[in-house]
Structure 1
Amino acid sequence: MTVLDPDLADIHKPTARARGLLNAHYIDTEKYDEERDALFGSGWAGLAVASDVADIGDAVPLTFLDIPLLLIRGRDDGVRVFQNICRHRGMILVDQPRKIEGAIRCPYHSWCYSTQGKLVATPHVGGPGRNTHDEIDPDTLGLIEVRSHIWRDVVWINLSGTAPAFEDAMSDIITRWRDFDQPMYHGGADSRFTLSVAANWKLAVENYCESYHLPWVHPGLNSYSRLEDHYNIEQPGVFSGQGTLVYRQLKDEAGHSFEDFGGLGSKWDAGAEYLAIYPNVLLGVHRDHAFAIILQPDGPNRTEEQVHLYYATETPDDTLRRRNAAQWKEVFEEDIFVVEGMQRGRRAPGFDGGRFSPAMDGPTLCFHQWAAARLGAYRDRT
Structure 2
Amino acid sequence: MSTWLPREIEAKRQVLQQVLKPIAEACGLPNEAYTSEAFAAVERDEVLARTWTCIGVGNWVPEPGDLKPVQLLGLPLLLLRDRAGEIKVFHNVCSHRGLELVSAPCKSKGLIRCRYHSWSYSLDGSLKATPFIGGPGTKTCEGFDKSKHGLKPVRSAVWCDAVFVDLSGEAPPFEDFIAPIAERWQAFDPARLRHGGPDSAFAIEVKCNWKLAVENYCEAYHLPWIHPALNQYSRLEDHYIIEEAGHMAGQGSTAYRPALSGDGRQFPAHPGLPESWYGAGEYLALFPNVLFGVHSDHFYTVVLEPLGAGATREHFEIYYFDEAVLDDAYADLRATNARQWMTVFEEDRGVVEGMQAGRASPAFEGGVFSPAMDGPTHCFNKWMAEALLG
Normalising by the smaller structure, the TM-score range is over 0.9
1:235 to 234, 237, 244: 244
The code of the aligned residue for 2:38 comes to: E
Provide the C-alpha distance between the structure 1 equivalents of 2:224 and 2:315, rounded to a whole number of angstroms. Answer: 25
Identity among equivalent positions (%) equals 49
Alpha-carbon deviations, 1:277-317, whole Å to 9, x = none? Answer: 11110000000001000001111011010000000123411
Q: Within 5 Å, give how 1:93-132 maps onto structure 2.
A: 93-132=101-140
Contact 1:249/1:257 (8 A) holds in 2: no
1:33 paired with 2:41, answer yes
The code of the aligned residue for 1:126 comes to: G
**1:75 Cα shift?**
1.2
Alpha-carbon deviations, 1:15-63, whole Å to 9, x = none? Answer: 1111001111111112111110222010001101000000111111112
Q: Within 5 Å, give how 1:47-86 maps onto structure 2.
A: 47-86=55-94
Structure 1 vs Structure 2 CA RMSD: 1.3
Aligned residue number for residue 148 of structure 1: 156
Output the TM-score relative to the length of structure 1: 0.96
The code of the aligned residue for 1:322 comes to: A
Alpha-carbon deviations, 1:124-171, whole Å to 9, x = none? Answer: 112222211232212111111111111011111111111111111221
Alpha-carbon deviations, 1:187-222, whole Å to 9, x = none? Answer: 110000010100111100000000000000001111
**Off by >4 Å, runs of 4+ in structure 1:** none
Provide the C-alpha distance between the structure 2 equivalents of 1:36 and 1:251, rounded to a whole number of angstroms. Answer: 40
Aligned residue number for residue 220 of structure 2: 211
The code of the aligned residue for 2:305 comes to: Q
1:266 to 275, 284, 296: 275
Provide the C-alpha distance between the structure 2 equivalents of 1:165 and 1:199, rounded to a whole number of angstroms. Answer: 31
1:175 paired with 2:188, answer no
Q: Within 5 Å, give how 1:269-348 maps onto structure 2.
A: 269-316=278-325, 317-348=330-361
Alpha-carbon deviations, 1:253-299, whole Å to 9, x = none? Answer: 33210011122122212221000011110000000001000001111
Provide the C-alpha distance between the structure 2 equivalents of 1:222 and 1:348, rounded to a whole number of angstroms. Answer: 31
Provide the C-alpha distance between the structure 2 equivalents of 1:201 and 1:113, rounded to a whole number of angstroms. Answer: 34
Aligned residue number for residue 54 of structure 2: 46
Aligned residue number for residue 370 of structure 1: 383
Aligned residue number for residue 6 of structure 2: none
Contact 2:260/2:337 (8 A) holds in 1: no
State the number of aligned residues.
Answer: 375
Aligned residue number for residue 380 of structure 1: none
**1:116 Cα shift?**
1.3
Provide the C-alpha distance between the structure 1 equivalents of 2:365 and 2:112, rounded to a whole number of angstroms. Answer: 50
The code of the aligned residue for 2:109 comes to: E
The code of the aligned residue for 2:376 comes to: P
The code of the aligned residue for 1:324 comes to: N
Question: Secondary structure at the residue paired with 2:382?
Answer: helix
The code of the aligned residue for 2:379 comes to: C
Provide the C-alpha distance between the structure 1 equivalents of 2:331 and 2:318, rounded to a whole number of angstroms. Answer: 13
**1:249 Cα shift?**
4.8
Greater CA deviation, 317-326 or 13-22?
Answer: 13-22
The code of the aligned residue for 2:31 comes to: N
Provide the C-alpha distance between the structure 2 equivalents of 1:253 and 1:298, rounded to a whole number of angstroms. Answer: 40
Contact 1:224/1:246 (8 A) holds in 2: yes
Provide the C-alpha distance between the structure 1 equivalents of 2:92 and 2:287, rounded to a whole number of angstroms. Answer: 25
Output the TM-score relative to the length of structure 2: 0.94
Structure 1: unaligned runs, 5 residues or longer: 378-382
1:162 paired with 2:175, answer no
